[in-house]
Amino acid sequence: MSSQSFSRPGAVDLSALNTGGPGADGGSATARGGGGFAVDVTEATFQTEVINRSMSVPVVIDFWATWCEPCKTLSPILEKLAAEYDGRFVLAKIDVDANQAIAQAAQVQSIPTVMAVLRGQVVPLFQGAVPEAQARQVIDQLLQMAVANGVAGRAEPVGPPPGGEESAAEEEPPVDPRFEAAYEAINAGDFDRAAEAYQAVLAESPGDAEAKAGLAQVELLRRTSGIDEAAARSAADADPTDVDAQLQVADLDLAAGQVEAAFDRLIATVRRVADDDRERVRARVVELFEVVGATDPRVVKARAALASALF
């Protein structure tokens, strides 16, 4: 299982950025099975039910559709495990037909696809229907990773409490008001305005790590929007010293969750080029460190490799 890291508390998960859809103001979703540990999530509830909840407990996302036969095999397995693990993780069910923006943002190529989110960071798990034993093994690995990253909470049963939908909404985690303007801009698909909103926070608090992470993610999205991936990869393969091509492909790799591949590519490019080109690549690596998170083990490893390449 390879982990992917896109965002941290205060920044919007990259899958939400790609859509401009999952909002920060969604209401409570309806739990499957009457208040267990599986919840149906929509674009309107993604921020609350997935991102906000992932700050304290791992959230496993099951991308499915009604017409998908393998989904009919896998989904009950995941729901069973969610109930069995009794709140150690929450299962978020996302119908790709009804929530195409989320599926597109997460770059779901086939279903079923299963991902997880820890502290807003995306962790790809597996694609396709797998046996229960394999799913259990992956979940166990995820929970170990969660503990290592300080996400060791236990969820209460999700969905409306006995008091009904209104009281459930009252218990939702509040949205950080500093980032409301950025969320609104992202929902509108206006990434320039989102970047300005994060920059406004940084103007008042230059050291705000959450705003830095959010800005870095928006900038990544702006750079990757509209890129011809095949052409970019062809150019990068044809000339390993083509800095623009290497930067583009590294961005695409990171946006696709290939964190280590992105870092490896850029650090290899640092070794090949010199002067201004070298500084451009170094600066991009440091910027991508902000996207992934300074304490992520892959960043720690890449930072040491970058220092070695530079000196």
Positions annotated as catalytic residues are: 68, 71
Please list, in sequence order, all residues whose beta carbon lies within 8 angstroms of the beta carbon of residue 253, skipping any fewer than 6 positions away. 259, 261, 262, 265
Distance CA 197, CA 90 (A): 31
Would you tell me the crossing angle of helices 243-255 and 229-238 to the nearest 10 degrees?
130
Distance CA 188, CA 171 (A): 26
**Contact 46/23 with Cβ under 8 angstroms?**
yes
Distance CA 114, CA 128 (A): 8
Distance CA 265, CA 254 (A): 11
Structural tokens at position 52: 């906000």
Burial 196-222 (b: 16+ CB within 10 A, else e): ebbeebeeeeeebebbbbbbbbbbbbe
Length of the chain: 311
Ranges of beta strands (E only) in the chain are: 38-40, 59-64, 90-95, 113-118, 121-127
What 3-state DSSP class applies to 115? strand
Distance CA 300, CA 138 (A): 24
Rounded (to 5) percent helix, strand, coil in the chain: 55, 10, 35
